[in-house]
C-alpha cells in the first residue's frame, strides 16, 4: 500500500499528545505513517506495547513524553526512559535494530519539535528500510 | 467460578489423556499438590473425578491456570495419572474457543517475544551479552542453546540472567570447548506449549530444528531446564530426530570432570542447598548431575532440604501462567525451608532463579534470613579460579 | 470473525470542511460501517453543534448504542462535551472515544488527501477496537467532611479561619507557638501606610479567638495526617503548658521565676523578641498574646532541669494553675479540608559572616529591628544601640540571602519596602543618617512607589551596590569605633567605605521549617523550599492534593496585602470545596485485581503519590482513589498484571495498536 | 562628548561564549566583585564595569585592567549570580593575547614557556639542579609518590630551599619518592592564566605522557598552582592519577606518627592561605594542622582568612609583572600579620612566599620571618 514507514507513536496525554495537536494545528507536515496512541503518561508505556507493535509490522516505535523534570506525574517519563533504554538491547538482539525504537520529549507547546522528532525518525526508518518483522505480501 | 466449554463437537482430547491411566481416587495427588496447600479448593483428584463423570468441561478458569504443571501429583500417583498433560491439553483445547484467557505474567513480555521469534525473517544478534574474554564460534561440535536468556534482562531488573550464560561459556572454554552460539536460535517454545499455544510452539520447534540439523553439531547444551525438556523430549514428538544429543549443562560438567577434562581448582566456601527444577527433575528425571557438580566443587557443602528429587517443591511459577498471592505463600514456604539449611539456594534453571529472586526483591510474607539464589553453572564457573 | 455483542456508533465530523476538504469522509464512513460490532456509521457537518449532539443522542437511543467513536478534532476540545451528551442519552460516558482525525490527519497531511484518508480509517478502527474492549465505569463520589483545619495562626491563618468560620464551617485553627498572631504581631508599623500593625491585627486576633465556629489550638502541632476520600484525620500534639485554664493572668509567676535572673545559671532569650531580651521560664510571649494563658518552658525550668528543686511559680500562684504533671496529649482532628498557612522565618544572617551578624553587637536582622522599633519591644520602641545610646547613622543592607545563588535565589519581595519603612522610622525616631544599600528597588504594589518617593524625600541615602563586608577595622579616623560598610557604589563607579553605628540586614524570607507537616500531608515543595501550589499562575491557592489549600508566606514570600488576598482566596476555594458536599473521584485511575496481586510492593515503590500501599495483613495492594493520578507507572512494574489503569488496560491499548498496524489498514 | 552608537563586538562575544564564559550574562551589576576584589584595597578598578561592558559587547575587557586580575577567585566565591569571573577574564585574555595585545613582559614569559618549558627562562637541562647534593632519584614504578617540583621551586633560588626542605621531610618520614628530573616541564598554569590555552595544552600533554610512560599514579605537588592544574585541568585532557598538595601529605604523615618534630619555643605563627590551595581546592585545615603540630607553635589567625583570605598578588601571571610598592596586596598582608602579633608568617605557595618575603623586608615594622610550611617543618625535624 503505502511506502511510508509505519511508526507507532506512544504519546503522553500532557506533552507529547498536545505537541502533536500543536503540530497539526500549525499545519506542519509530517509523515502520515505516524500513528499515535494516547497514554496518560509515558510511564505506562509497557514494553509489551513496543514489542507488540513490532510484531504487528510497525517499522518503528517512538515514545514521546514530557521533558525531564516536567512530567505531569513527576517521574513517569524517567521510568519510561529507563525502561526504554533497557528495551533497546532487546530490540537490538532481536535483529529489529535499536535505531527503530526511540524515546524523546516535546512539551505541549512544542508542535514544531514534535514534527521535527517524527520527521527525523521517519527519515531514519526510511533509510533503514522496512522492519525485518514486516510480513512481505 | 466460570466453567469453560470446549468447542462444539470437539472430541475431549484432555479426557482421553486422563483416561489412559486409571485414577483410583486415593487423593495422594491433592495431598501432595502445592497449590492445594495454599488454596484448598484446588484438587487434582476432584478435577479428575469430575472429568470422569461429566467430561473435562467442568474445569474452572481458575483451576485451569492455577496448576503449576510441576508434576508432583503425577510423581506420587500410584497409577501415574498425567495430570499436567491433562491441564496442558485442556489449555490447548480452550485456546480455539477464545483468545487466551490467562494473561502471561510480566505483561505478556515472554509471550510476545516468542511470537516475534516465530517469525521467519529474523536476524538476531544473540551474542551481544557475551562480552570479552569468552570464546564462541559460528560452528562446531557443541551448540550452546542460550534460550531466552539474552532477552530476560530487558524486564527482570532484580537478577542478571546473562550471568549464567557467561558462566556456561567460561566453563566450556576451560574444558577446551568453544561452543557454537547461533543467531538463528529461537525461543524453545516451552511457555507457548504449556500455555496451550501449540501453533507457536511447533513453529518455533521447526525453526530451531532447521538450523540445528544444518549445523552438523553432535551435541546441544542448555543451561535452562525448560529448554532441555523441550528439546530433548517434546521436539522429537513434533519434528522427529534432531540429530544431536541434548544435554543439560550439569550433565556436561559431570562428564567433563569425570573424564578429567575439567578441574575445579578454586575452593568456593559456601554452604548450599539444591532446588530441583520441575523441568529437569520430575519432567526429565535428572536429579544426580547437578548434585554431582556441587560435590565436585571444592569448598561447597551441600545440605539437602527435606523435599528433594521427585518430592521437590516447585519454585511457584510455571510457564509464566500463574503468579499471585498463593504463589507467594508457596515461595515463602520453600525459601524458609532452604534458609533453614543453608545461606545459598542453588538451582539449575534460570526461571527458578528469577522467581525466587523476584520474591526476595519484594516484600516477604514473613521476614526471611539472607539467602542468595545461585545457578549451579555460575558456582562451577567461580570454582575455575 | 464472529459478530460481537456490542453496538458501536461511529460519527464522523466534517468540521465545516476542515476535515472533509482533505479526508474522504464518505470512504471513512463506509469503512467504519464494516468494522465489527459497528451498527451505525454516519457523518455530519459539525458534530460539536447542537444538531450534531442531537444526532449523537438520537442514534444512541435509537440503536441502543453501548459504544461511540467520534472522529473529529482533538479530544482536548470536546471529549468531555461528547461524553456529557452520551451520558444524557443514557449511555455510560466512558464508552465514548475520540478519533483525532482533524489535527492528526486533515491538518497534518493536508497535501496528501489519500494518505490522510487511510490514516483516518486506521484511527477510527483503533478507537473502535478500543471501545470494543472498554467497560462502563462508575463515577464514584465521596462525602466531604464539613470541618476545616487551618494550620498556622499568623495573619494568613487568622484571616482564612475567620472567613471560613463566617461562612459557617467548623474551623480548627492550629498554632504551634503559645500565642496566635504570627510574625505580623511583632511588627511596629506596616508599609506603605505606616499603620500600627497591632492596631489592625489585634481586632482580628480577638475575633478569631472568640469566634463560635473556630476551635483554637495553640501550642499544638500536627504530627501526622491520614487521608481518606473526603476526609483528613490529623493527629495533633497538644504540648503541655504546665499552666491550666485557671490562670488569671496576674503575672506573679513570671515575676517570681528565677530563670534568666542576673545570678541564674539557666538563661533563656525571648523568642518573641528574637533574642533581644531575656525571658523567664514561665511567661506570656507579649502583652496582647492570645490566649492570655501563661506557658512554662520545661527545657529552661529549674523544676524540670534541676530535679524539682524549684516550683516557686506554683507557690506564688493565687489560682493554683500550675500543674507540673501535664504531659503531651495527642488529639485526633477530623476535617474535610486543610489550609496550610505556616508562614515564614527570617533567613539566618550568620550564614554570611562578612556582614558580622552575631559578631558585632549592633548588626541586626529586620525582624529584630521591628522589635526594637515596637513600643512593646525590649527597648519600648526606642531605637538604641547595645550600649544604650541612639545611633547617629544606620546602614540598611538589602537582599541579605535573597537573590543570591549562594543562599536563596529568589527575591523575597517585601524587603525593599520593609527597608524603606525602617529607614523612615529610624530617621523619624532618631534623626540618624540612613543609608540603603540596594541592588534594585522593587516597589510594585499599590502606594509603594509613592512610599519610595516619600522616603527618598526624607534625605535617606541610597547606594546601589551589594556590600562586600561590614568591618570594625578602621582605616581612617571617621571609621574609629564604627562599623564600616564596604561597597562599590555602582552608579558612581567607586568603592565606598561607609561608617555607621548600626547595621540592619534585610534578610531573605525562609519558609518556616515544616518538612514533617508537608510529608504527612503529602505536599511537595517548590525548588525554593516553599509549598508547591497547584499551578503557579492560575491556581496559586490549591495544591496537588485535593482538599489542601495554601495561603500566605507558606507558598511564597509576600507582603501583608498579598497574604490577606491569598488567604481570602484559599478560604473561598476551601469553602467551595467543602460546600460541594462530595468529591468526584476520577475513575481513570489504577485498580487492583486482588486475585492476581502478590503484594510484592513494586507498585507502591514507584508511586509518586503514595496512592497505593500493600496491606500487610491481607497481602494485597490497595489503591487510594483520591490520591491516584492514573499515570500507570505501577502497571509496568507489576509482575503479575494485577494492577491496571482503567481505560488504559493492556487489552484496550493492544487492541488499538493492532488496529493501527500496517496490516490492519489494508482494506 | 557625544554618545557613540552601540556596536557590539560580536567576535569577542563569540569567543567568550566558546571559552565557557557565558555565565557573564547572569551578572546583575551589584558590584560585590569590585568591592571584594583585592585591587579595590589599593587602587580604582571596577570589575563590575568590565563585566558590564562585556555583557553588551561594547568592550571593557581589552584594557590594561584585564591584566591586573590575579585569578584569586575572591569575587567568584561570593558572586550572587554565580558568574565565573576568572573564566571570563581568562577567555578575554586569550582573545586579547591572540591579537598580540598582552603586556610585553608576558610575551617574554610565553616565549620562555615555549622554548624552555618554564616561565623563568631557566635552562631545561638545569631543571634538577635544585636537588644537587641530595639523593633525589628519578621516579620509578613502585615508589610511593612522584614529587612534582614545579618551575619556581626548580629555578628560583629562594624557593629551591622549599623543595630541598620537602626532600628532607619525606626522607625522614620514610616516604619513597622520585621526580621526573629534567623531563619535568612546566605544569602549564602560567600559560593557562595568561590566556594561552594551546601552550598550556602542549605542556600538559607532555607531562601527562611522561606520567603515563613512567607509570605515575600518585603525585605530590609543591606549588598550589601545579596542584590545581594537575587536579582539575589535566583530567580534562584525559589524564588520570591521584594528586595532592604536599601539606595534605604532611598532615597524613603526622597522623600516622611518621614525623617527629621538636619545639620552636613559644612562637606566635600566622598562616596565609594561598588562593589556589584554599578557594580553589578547599584545603584550609591541613596546613594549619601541620603548623600546630610543631611543639611551641601558637597559631594566630589573620583577618581575613580561609575562604576570605587576601591574595598575595602573585597568581594569574602577576608574579611576572611589576606591581608598584603601594599597590602590593602582600604589603597589606604583612600589616595584617603584624596586627595579630605574629613572628612567623607561614604559607604554602612559592608565589606567596616570594611576594610576602619581599613585602616583609620592605614594610615590616619588626622582624617577621616568612617561611614556607615545608621549610618550617624541616627546620624543626627532630
User: How far apart are the C-alpha atoms of B307 and B314, rounded to whole Å?
Assistant: 10
Chain centroid to CA A111: how far?
Answer: 15
Secondary structure (3-state) at B283? coil
User: How far apart are the C-alpha atoms of B86 and B48, rounded to whole Å?
Assistant: 9
Determine, yes or no, domain membership for A2: no
> Is the distance from CB of C486 to CB of C496 less than 8 angstroms?
yes
How much is the mean pLDDT over chain C? 95
Domain with CATH 1.10.1060.10 in chain B: 13-98
Name which of D278, D177, D173, D166 is nearest D218 in CA terms: D177
pLDDT digits (tens, 9 = 90+) for C563-610: 999 999 999 999 999 999 998 888 999 999 998 999 999 999 999 888
pLDDT digits (tens, 9 = 90+) for A82-120: 999 999 999 999 999 999 999 999 998 899 999 999 999
User: How far apart are the C-alpha atoms of D336 and D303, rounded to whole Å?
Assistant: 7
Question: What percentage of chain C exceeds 90 in pLDDT?
Answer: 91
Chain A CB contacts of B123 under 8 Å are 95, 132
Determine, yes or no, domain membership for A137: no
What is the DSSP code string of B155-215?
T--SS-THHHHHHHHHHHHHTT---B--TT-----HHHHHTT-HHHHHHHHHHHHHHHHHH
Secondary structure (3-state) at C333? strand
Name which of C450, C405, C415, C414 is nearest C436 in CA terms: C415
> Is the distance from CB of C234 to CB of C332 less than 8 angstroms?
yes
User: How far apart are the C-alpha atoms of D96 and D99, rounded to whole Å?
Assistant: 5
Q: What's the average model confidence in pLDDT over A53-74?
A: 93
pLDDT digits (tens, 9 = 90+) for C54-92: 999 999 999 999 999 999 999 999 999 999 999 999 999
User: How far apart are the C-alpha atoms of D262 and C294, rounded to whole Å?
Assistant: 62
In the structure, do chain C and chain A come into contact, i.e. share 3 or more CB pairs under 8 Å? yes
Tell if the CB–CB gap between B154 and A136 is shorter than 8 Å. no
Joined grid coordinates for residue D316:
594569574
Give D222's pLDDT tier (boundaries 50, 70, 90): very high
Chain B CB contacts of C595 under 8 Å are 62, 324
Joined grid coordinates for residue C67:
459504544
Parent domain of A54: 7-128
User: How far apart are the C-alpha atoms of C465 and C487, rounded to whole Å?
Assistant: 6
What pLDDT tens digit does each residue of chain B (385 aa) get?
Answer: 445 555 555 667 788 888 777 899 999 999 999 999 999 999 999 999 988 887 777 788 888 999 999 999 999 999 999 999 999 999 988 887 755 456 678 889 999 999 999 999 889 999 989 988 999 999 999 999 999 987 988 888 888 899 999 999 999 999 999 999 999 999 999 999 999 999 999 999 999 999 999 999 999 999 999 999 999 999 999 999 999 999 999 999 999 999 999 999 999 999 999 999 999 999 999 999 999 999 999 999 999 999 999 999 999 999 999 898 899 999 999 999 999 999 999 999 999 999 999 999 988 888 888 899 999 999 999 999 7
Quick one: pLDDT at residue A124?
96
Joined grid coordinates for residue C312:
516557686
Determine, yes or no, domain membership for A25: yes
Quick one: pLDDT at residue D139?
96
End-to-end CA distance of chain A: 10
Determine, yes or no, domain membership for A134: no
Of C648, C654, C663, the CB nearest to A57: C663
pLDDT digits (tens, 9 = 90+) for D312-353: 999 999 999 999 999 999 999 999 999 999 999 999 999 999
Quick one: pLDDT at residue B5?
54
User: How far apart are the C-alpha atoms of C633 and C645, rounded to whole Å?
Assistant: 9
Strand partners, B68: none
Chain C CB contacts of D48 under 8 Å are 488, 490
In the structure, do chain A and chain D come into contact, i.e. share 3 or more CB pairs under 8 Å? no
Chain B CB contacts of A132 under 8 Å are 121-123
**What does R_g of chain A's alpha carbons equal in angstroms?**
14
pTM as predicted: 0.73
Find where cell 474492549 sits. Answer: C133
> Is the distance from CB of C364 to CB of C502 less than 8 angstroms?
yes
Report the alpha-carbon angle C272-C276-C277, nearest 5: 80
Find where cell 544431536 sits. Answer: B244
Name which of B56, B241, B315, C608 is nearest A72 in CA terms: C608
* Other Cβ atoms closer than 10 A to C584: 11
pLDDT digits (tens, 9 = 90+) for D234-292: 999 989 999 999 999 999 999 999 999 999 788 999 999 999 999 999 999 999 999 99
- Which run of H or E residues covers position C231? strand C231-238
Q: Which residue of chain C is at minimal alpha-carbon distance from A54?
A: C661
Q: Which residue of chain B is at minimal alpha-carbon distance from A57?
A: B116
Domain with CATH 1.20.1050 in chain B: 106-256
Burial class (CB in 10 A: 0-12, 13-18, 19+), C487: buried
Q: Is the pLDDT of residue C396 over 50?
A: yes
Tell if the CB–CB gap between B154 and A46 is shorter than 8 Å. no
**Nearest C-alpha of chain B: how many angstroms from A83?**
8
Q: What's the average model confidence in pLDDT over C191-220?
A: 97
Determine, yes or no, domain membership for A136: no
> Is the distance from CB of D262 to CB of D382 less than 8 angstroms?
yes
Q: What is the DSSP letter of C146?
A: S
Chain B CB contacts of C601 under 8 Å are 362-363
User: How far apart are the C-alpha atoms of B267 and C120, rounded to whole Å?
Assistant: 67
Strands C220-228 vs C214-217: parallel, antiparallel or unpaired? unpaired
C470 touches chain B (CB under 8 A): no
Quick one: pLDDT at residue C455?
97
**Nearest C-alpha of chain C: how many angstroms from A6?**
7
Determine, yes or no, domain membership for A133: no
Is D144 or C663 the better-scoring residue by pLDDT? D144
Q: Which residues contact C82 (CB under 8 A, 6 or more apart)?
A: C47, C53, C56, C68, C70, C96, C98
Q: What is the CATH number of domain B106-256?
A: 1.20.1050
Chain C CB contacts of B105 under 8 Å are 639-641
Burial class (CB in 10 A: 0-12, 13-18, 19+), C515: exposed
Strands B300-302 vs B270-275: parallel, antiparallel or unpaired? parallel
Chain centroid to CA D190: how far?
Answer: 9
> Is the distance from CB of C528 to CB of C508 less than 8 angstroms?
no
Q: How far are the Cα atoms of C440, D140, D224 from residue D180, in angstroms, in the given order? A: 55, 9, 18
**Number of folded domains that form chain A:** 1
CB pairs under 8 A between A and C: 133
pLDDT digits (tens, 9 = 90+) for D152-206: 999 999 999 999 999 999 999 999 999 999 999 999 999 999 999 999 999 999 9
User: How far apart are the C-alpha atoms of C244 and C247, rounded to whole Å?
Assistant: 6
**Nearest C-alpha of chain C: how many angstroms from A73?**
6
Q: Is the pLDDT of residue C1 over 50?
A: no
Sign of CA dihedral B182, B187, B189, B194: positive
Q: What backbone phi and psi angles, to 5 degrees, belong to C385?
A: -75, 170
Quick one: pLDDT at residue A1?
44
Give C2's pLDDT tier (boundaries 50, 70, 90): very low
* Domain B13-98: which CATH number of 1.20.120.1200, 3.30.70.3000, 3.40.50.2000, 1.10.1060.10: 1.10.1060.10
Q: Which residue of chain C is at minimal alpha-carbon distance from B157?
A: C637
Determine, yes or no, domain membership for A1: no
Chain A CB contacts of C661 under 8 Å are 6, 8, 53, 56-58
Q: What backbone phi and psi angles, to 5 degrees, belong to D114?
A: -75, -40
Determine, yes or no, domain membership for A39: yes
CATH classification (class only), B263-382: alpha beta
| CATH code for position A56 | 3.40.50.960
Find where cell 604523615 sits. Answer: D253
Strands C483-489 vs C494-500: parallel, antiparallel or unpaired? antiparallel
Domains and CATH numbers, chain C: 8-137 (3.40.50), 140-238+329-343+512-585 (3.50.50.60), 240-327 (3.30.70.20), 346-509 (3.50.50.60), 587-646 (3.30.70.20)
* Other Cβ atoms closer than 10 A to B241: 9
Q: What's the average model confidence in pLDDT over C374-390?
A: 93
Quick one: pLDDT at residue B9?
56
User: How far apart are the C-alpha atoms of A132 and A114, rounded to whole Å?
Assistant: 26
Quick one: pLDDT at residue C666?
39
Find where cell 597524613 sits. Answer: D252
**Nearest C-alpha of chain C: how many angstroms from B65?**
12
Amino acid at each position: 500500500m503505502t511506502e511510508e514507514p509505519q511508526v507507532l507513536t506512544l504519546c503522553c496525554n500532557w506533552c507529547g499528545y498536545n505537541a502533536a495537536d500543536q503540530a497539526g494545528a500549525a499545519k506542519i507536515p509530517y509523515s502520515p505513517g505516524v500513528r499515535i496512541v494516547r497514554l496518560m503518561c509515558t510511564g505506562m508505556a509497557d514494553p509489551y506495547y513496543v514489542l507488540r507493535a513490532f510484531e504487528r509490522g510497525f517499522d518503528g516505535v517512538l515514545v514521546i513524553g514530557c521533558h525531564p523534570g516536567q512530567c505531569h506525574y513527576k517521574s513517569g517519563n524517567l521510568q519510561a526512559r529507563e525502561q526504554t533504554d533497557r528495551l533497546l538491547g532487546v530490540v537490538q538482539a532481536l535483529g529489529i535494530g535499536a535505531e527503530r525504537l526511540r524515546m524523546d520529549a516535546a512539551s505541549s507547546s512544542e508542535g514544531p519539535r514534535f514534527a521535527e522528532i517524527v520527521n527525523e525518525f521517519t527519515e531514519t526508518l526510511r533509510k533503514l528500510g522496512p522492519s525485518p518483522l514486516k510480513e512481505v505480501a | 467460578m466460570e466453567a469453560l466449554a470446549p468447542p462444539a463437537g470437539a472430541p475431549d482430547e484432555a479426557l482421553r489423556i486422563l483416561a489412559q491411566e486409571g485414577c483410583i481416587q486415593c487423593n495422594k495427588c491433592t495431598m501432595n499438590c502445592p497449590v492445594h496447600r495454599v488454596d484448598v479448593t484446588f484438587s487434582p483428584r476432584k478435577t479428575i473425578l469430575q472429568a470422569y463423570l461429566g467430561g473435562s468441561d467442568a474445569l474452572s478458569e481458575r483451576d485451569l491456570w492455577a496448576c503449576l504443571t510441576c508434576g508432583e501429583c503425577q510423581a506420587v500417583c500410584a497409577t501415574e495419572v498425567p495430570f499436567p498433560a491433562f491441564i496442558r491439553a485442556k489449555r490447548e483445547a480452550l485456546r480455539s474457543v477464545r483468545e487466551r484467557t490467562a494473561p502471561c505474567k510480566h505483561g505478556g513480555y515472554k509471550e510476545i517475544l516468542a511470537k516475534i521469534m516465530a517469525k521467519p525473517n529474523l536476524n538476531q544478534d544473540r551474542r551481544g551479552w557475551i562480552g570479552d574474554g569468552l570464546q564462541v564460534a559460528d560452528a562446531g561440535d557443541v551448540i550452546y542453546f542460550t534460550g531466552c536468556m539474552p532477552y530476560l534482562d530487558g524486564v527482570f531488573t532484580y537478577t542478571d540472567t546473562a550471568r549464567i550464560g557467561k558462566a556456561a561459556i567460561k566453563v566450556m572454554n576451560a574444558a577446551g570447548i568453544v561452543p557454537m552460539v547461533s543467531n538463528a536460535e529461537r525461543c524453545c517454545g516451552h511457555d507457548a506449549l504449556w500455555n496451550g499455544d501449540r501453533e507457536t510452539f511447533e513453529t518455533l520447534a521447526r525453526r530451531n530444528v532447521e538450523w540445528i540439523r544444518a549445523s552438523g553439531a553432535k551435541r546441544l547444551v542448555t543451561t535452562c531446564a525448560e529448554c532441555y525438556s523441550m528439546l530433548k523430549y517434546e521436539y522429537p514428538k513434533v519434528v522427529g530426530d534432531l540429530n544431536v544429543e541434548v544435554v543439560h549443562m550439569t550433565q556436561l560438567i559431570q562428564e567433563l570432570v569425570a573424564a578429567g577434562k575439567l578441574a575445579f581448582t578454586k575452593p568456593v566456601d559456601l554452604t548450599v542447598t539444591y532446588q530441583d527444577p520441575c523441568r529437569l527433575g520430575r519432567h526429565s528425571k535428572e536429579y544426580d548431575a547437578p548434585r554431582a557438580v556441587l560435590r565436585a566443587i571444592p569448598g561447597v557443602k551441600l545440605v539437602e532440604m527435606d523435599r528433594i528429587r521427585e518430592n521437590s517443591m516447585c519454585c511457584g511459577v510455571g510457564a509464566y501462567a500463574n503468579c499471585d498471592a498463593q504463589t507467594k505463600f508457596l515461595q515463602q514456604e520453600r525459601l524458609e525451608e532452604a534458609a533453614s539449611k543453608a545461606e545459598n539456594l542453588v538451582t539449575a534453571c534460570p526461571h527458578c532463579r528469577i522467581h525466587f529472586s523476584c520474591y526476595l526483591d519484594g516484600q516477604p510474607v514473613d521476614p526471611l534470613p539472607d539467602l542468595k539464589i545461585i545457578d549451579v553453572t555460575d558456582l562451577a564457573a567461580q570454582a575455575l579460579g | 470473525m464472529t459478530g460481537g455483542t456490542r453496538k458501536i456508533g461511529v460519527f464522523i465530523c466534517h468540521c465545516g470542511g476542515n476535515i472533509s476538504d482533505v479526508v474522504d469522509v464518505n470512504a471513512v464512513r463506509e469503512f467504519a460501517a464494516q468494522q465489527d460490532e459497528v451498527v451505525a456509521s454516519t457523518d455530519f457537518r459539525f458534530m460539536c453543534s447542537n444538531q450534531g449532539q442531537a444526532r449523537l443522542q438520537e442514534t444512541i437511543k435509537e440503536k441502543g448504542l453501548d459504544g461511540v467513536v467520534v472522529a473529529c478534532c482533538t479530544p482536548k476540545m470536546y471529549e468531555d462535551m461528547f461524553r456529557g451528551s452520551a451520558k444524557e442519552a443514557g449511555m455510560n460516558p466512558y464508552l465514548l472515544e475520540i478519533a483525532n482525525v482533524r489535527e492528526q490527519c486533515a491538518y497534518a497531511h493536508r497535501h496528501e488527501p489519500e494518505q490522510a484518508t487511510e490514516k483516518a480509517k486506521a484511527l477510527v478502527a483503533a478507537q473502535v477496537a478500543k471501545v470494543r474492549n472498554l467497560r462502563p465505569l462508575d463515577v464514584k463520589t465521596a462525602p466531604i467532611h464539613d470541618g476545616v483545619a487551618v494550620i498556622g495562626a499568623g495573619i494568613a491563618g487568622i484571616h482564612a479561619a475567620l472567613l471560613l468560620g463566617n461562612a459557617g464551617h467548623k474551623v480548627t485553627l492550629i498554632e504551634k507557638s503559645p500565642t496566635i498572631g504570627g510574625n505580623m504581631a511583632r511588627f511596629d508599623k506596616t508599609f506603605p501606610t505606616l499603620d500600627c500593625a497591632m492596631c489592625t491585627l489585634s481586632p482580628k486576633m480577638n475575633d478569631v479567638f472568640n469566634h463560635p465556629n473556630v476551635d483554637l489550638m495553640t501550642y499544638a502541632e500536627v504530627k501526622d495526617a491520614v487521608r481518606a476520600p473526603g476526609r483528613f484525620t490529623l493527629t495533633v500534639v497538644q504540648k503541655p503548658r504546665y499552666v491550666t485554664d485557671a490562670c488569671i493572668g496576674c503575672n506573679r509567676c513570671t515575676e517570681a521565676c528565677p530563670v534568666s535572673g542576673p545570678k541564674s545559671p539557666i538563661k533563656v532569650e525571648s523568642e518573641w523578641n528574637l533574642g533581644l531580651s531575656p525571658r523567664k521560664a514561665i511567661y506570656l510571649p507579649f502583652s496582647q498574646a492570645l490566649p492570655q494563658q501563661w506557658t512554662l518552658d520545661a527545657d529552661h525550668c529549674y523544676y524540670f532541669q534541676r530535679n524539682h528543686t524549684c516550683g516557686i511559680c506554683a507557690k506564688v500562684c493565687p489560682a493554683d494553675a500550675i500543674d507540673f504533671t501535664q504531659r503531651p496529649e495527642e488529639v485526633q482532628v477530623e476535617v474535610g479540608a486543610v489550609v496550610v498557612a505556616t508562614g515564614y522565618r527570617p533567613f539566618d544572617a550568620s550564614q554570611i559572616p562578612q556582614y558580622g551578624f552575631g559578631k558585632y553587637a549592633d548588626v541586626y536582622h529586620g525582624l529584630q529591628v521591628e522589635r526594637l522599633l515596637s513600643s512593646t519591644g525590649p527597648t519600648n520602641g526606642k531605637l538604641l544601640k547595645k550600649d544604650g545610646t541612639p545611633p547617629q547613622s544606620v546602614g540598611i543592607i538589602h537582599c541579605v540571602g535573597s537573590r543570591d545563588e549562594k543562599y536563596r535565589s529568589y527575591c523575597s519581595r517585601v524587603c525593599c519596602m520593609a527597608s524603606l519603612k525602617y529607614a523612615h522610622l529610624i530617621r523619624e525616631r532618631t534623626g540618624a543618617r540612613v543609608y540603603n544599600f540596594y541592588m534594585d528597588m522593587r516597589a510594585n504594589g499599590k502606594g509603594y512607589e509613592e512610599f519610595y518617593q516619600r522616603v527618598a524625600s526624607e534625605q535617606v541615602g541610597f547606594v546601589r551596590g551589594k556590600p562586600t563586608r561590614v568591618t570594625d577595622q578602621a582605616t581612617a579616623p571617621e571609621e574609629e569605633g564604627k562599623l564600616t560598610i564596604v561597597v562599590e557604589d555602582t552608579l558612581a563607579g567607586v568603592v565606598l567605605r561607609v561608617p555607621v553605628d548600626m547595621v540592619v540586614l534585610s534578610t531573605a524570607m525562609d519558609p518556616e521549617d515544616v518538612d514533617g507537616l508537608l510529608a504527612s500531608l503529602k505536599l511537595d515543595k517548590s525548588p525554593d523550599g516553599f509549598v508547591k501550589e497547584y499551578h503557579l499562575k492560575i491556581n496559586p491557592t490549591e495544591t496537588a492534593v485535593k482538599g489542601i489549600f495554601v495561603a500566605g508566606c507558606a507558598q511564597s514570600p509576600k507582603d501583608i496585602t498579598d497574604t490577606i488576598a491569598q488567604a481570602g482566596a484559599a478560604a473561598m476555594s476551601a469553602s467551595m470545596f467543602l460546600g460541594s458536599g462530595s468529591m468526584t473521584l476520577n475513575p481513570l485511575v489504577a485498580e487492583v485485581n486482588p486475585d492476581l496481586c502478590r503484594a510484592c510492593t513494586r507498585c507502591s515503590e514507584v508511586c509518586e503519590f503514595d496512592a497505593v500501599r500493600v496491606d500487610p495483613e491481607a497481602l494485597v495492594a490497595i489503591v487510594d482513589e483520591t490520591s491516584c493520578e492514573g499515570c500507570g507507572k505501577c502497571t509496568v512494574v507489576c509482575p503479575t498484571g494485577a494492577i491496571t489503569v482503567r481505560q488504559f488496560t493492556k487489552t484496550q491499548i493492544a487492541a488499538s495498536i493492532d488496529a493501527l498496524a500496517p496490516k490492519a489498514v489494508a482494506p | 562628548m557625544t554618545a557613540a552608537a552601540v556596536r557590539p563586538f560580536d567576535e569577542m562575544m563569540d569567543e567568550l561564549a566558546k571559552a565557557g564564559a557565558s555565565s557573564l550574562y547572569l551578572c546583575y551589576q551589584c558590584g560585590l566583585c569590585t568591592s571584594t576584589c583585592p585591587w579595590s584595597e589599593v587602587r580604582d578598578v571596577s570589575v563590575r564595569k568590565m563585566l558590564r561592558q562585556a555583557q553588551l559587547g561594547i568592550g571593557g575587557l581589552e584594557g590594561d585592567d584585564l591584566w591586573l586580575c590575579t585569578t584569586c577567585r575572591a569575587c567568584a566565591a561570593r558572586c550572587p549570580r554565580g558568574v565565573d569571573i576568572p573564566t571570563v577574564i581568562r577567555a578575554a585574555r586569550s582573545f586579547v593575547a591572540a591579537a598580540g595585545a598582552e603586556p610585553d613582559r608576558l610575551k617574554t614569559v610565553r616565549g620562555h614557556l615555549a622554548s624552555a618549558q618554564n616561565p623563568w627562562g631557566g635552562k631545561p637541562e638545569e631543571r634538577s639542579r635544585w636537588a644537587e647534593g641530595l639523593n633525589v632519584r628519578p621516579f620509578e614504578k613502585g615508589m610511593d609518590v612522584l614529587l612534582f617540583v614545579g618551575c619556581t621551586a626548580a629555578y628560583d633560588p629562594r624557593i629551591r630551599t622549599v623543595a630541598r626542605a620537602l626532600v628532607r621531610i619525606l626522607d625522614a618520614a620514610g616516604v619513597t619518592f622520585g621526580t621526573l628530573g629534567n623531563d619535568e616541564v612546566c605544569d602549564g598554569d602560567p600559560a593557562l592564566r595568561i590566556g594561552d590555552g594551546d601552550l598550556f595544552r602542549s605542556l600538559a600533554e607532555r607531562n601527562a605522557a611522561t606520567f603515563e610512560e613512567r607509570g605515575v599514579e600518585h603525585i605530590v605537588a609543591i606549588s598550589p598552582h601545579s596542584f590545581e592544574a594537575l587536579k582539575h585541568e589535566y583530567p580534562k585532557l584525559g589524564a588520570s592519577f591521584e594528586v595532592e598538595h604536599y601539606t595534605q601529605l604532611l598532615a597524613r604523615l603526622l597522623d600516622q606518627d611518621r614525623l617527629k618534630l621538636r619545639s620552636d619555643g613559644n612562637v606566635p605563627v600566622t598562616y596565609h592561605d594561598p588562593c589556589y590551595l584554599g578557594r580553589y581546592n578547599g584545603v584550609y585545615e591541613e596546613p594549619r594542622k601541620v603548623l600546630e603540630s610543631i611543639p611551641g607553635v601558637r597559631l594566630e589567625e589573620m583577618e581575613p582568612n580561609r575562604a576570605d583570605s587576601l591574595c598575595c598578588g602573585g597568581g594569574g601571571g602577576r608574579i611576572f609583572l611589576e606591581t608598584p610598592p603601594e599597590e602590593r596586596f602582600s604589603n597589606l598582608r604583612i600589616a595584617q600579620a603584624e596586627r595579630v602579633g605574629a613572628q612567623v608568617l607561614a604559607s604554602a605557595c612559592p608565589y606567596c612566599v616570594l611576594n610576602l618575603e619581599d613585602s616583609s623586608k620592605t614594610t615590616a615594622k619588626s622582624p617577621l620571618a616568612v617561611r614556607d610550611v615545608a621549610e618550617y617543618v624541616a627546620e624543626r625535624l627532630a
